[in-house]
């Protein structure tokens, strides 16, 4: 069974640009959630999608957005990048509360 | 709100020594508790999962965790550390319903293993 696939693995962007990250969940998993990991703030919840609907959003500015497609694949977008957006972005897929499987993450560096 | 606290941002052990990583949950008993491991430049890998009614939970790579309601704890242990265990470990709990159940993580404990 294929795991959670996140692309790309690494990204370098310039301040002010925008970026789109992709996540393909485990087959059959309808829930996809996103987390930001930084040395200072740790692991923070961004948002979660279930059947193409955003069910919850963390405390991030509106520059952070996402969506989910009918095949459960999800994308997150960050506009007007800031230096502080440099982080590891992790995607997790779930079939319920009993298990969350994470991808390898996308390392975003903003210069 | 449901939360977890990990005591000790760094733990150092010698190879072959006992590993003990601490996690305490907030007052209400959660239906699930998780331990994840993160190796450098990797995502999170599930080590083990507690479900209601369990006490001793066995996971991968020789790790296990004991759920103690009286101490609101779910500490992670391994009898004998291996160099390959050097990584960061996170305890996590799902936010309870109603509403979406996201994962709430502890601050993490970095395990250092010396030869």
Q: What is the pLDDT of residue B80?
A: 97
Residue A68 tokens, joined: 């989910």
**The residue count for chain B:** 115
Taking the C-alpha atoms of residue A87 and residue A81, their distance in angstroms, rounded to an integer, is: 12
Q: Does A39 touch chain B (CB under 8 A)?
A: no
Is the confidence at residue B99, as pLDDT, over 60? no
Task: Mutate one of B9, B48, B90, B100 to test the A interface: name it (highest A CB count within 10 A).
Answer: B100
Taking the C-alpha atoms of residue A67 and residue B17, their distance in angstroms, rounded to an integer, is: 46
The tens-digit pLDDT sequence of chain A (111 residues) is 679 999 999 999 999 999 999 999 999 899 999 999 999 899 999 999 999 999 889 999 999 999 999 999 999 999 999 999 999 999 999 887 567 899 999 999 999
Residue B87's CB: how many other CB atoms inside 10 A?
A: 19
Task: Give contacts of A35 with chain B, Cβ < 8 Å.
Answer: 103
Q: Does A3 touch chain B (CB under 8 A)?
A: no
């Amino acid at each position: 069974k294929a795991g959670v696939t996140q692309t790309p693995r690494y990204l370098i962007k310039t301040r002010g640009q925008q970026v789109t990250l992709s996540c393909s969940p485990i087959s059959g998993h309808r829930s996809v959630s996103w987390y930001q990991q930084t040395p200072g703030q740790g692991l923070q919840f961004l948002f979660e999608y279930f059947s193409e609907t955003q069910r919850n959003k963390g405390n991030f500015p509106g520059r952070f957005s996402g969506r989910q497609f009918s095949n459960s694949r999800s994308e997150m977008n960050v506009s007007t990048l800031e230096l502080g957006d440099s982080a590891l972005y992790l995607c997790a897929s779930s079939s319920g509360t009993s298990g969350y499987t994470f991808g390898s993450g996308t390392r975003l560096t903003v210069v | 709100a449901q939360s977890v606290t990990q005591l000790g941002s760094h733990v150092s052990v010698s190879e072959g020594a006992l590993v003990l990583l601490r996690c305490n949950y907030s007052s209400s008993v959660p239906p699930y508790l998780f331990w994840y491991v993160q190796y450098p430049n990797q995502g999170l890998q599930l080590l083990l999962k507690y479900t209601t009614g369990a006490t001793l939970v066995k996971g991968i790579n020789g790790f296990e965790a004991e759920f103690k309601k009286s101490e609101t704890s779910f500490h992670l242990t391994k009898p004998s550390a291996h160099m390959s265990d050097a990584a960061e470990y996170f305890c996590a709990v799902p936010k309870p319903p109603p509403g979406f159940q996201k994962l709430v993580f502890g601050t993490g404990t970095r395990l250092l293993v010396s030869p």
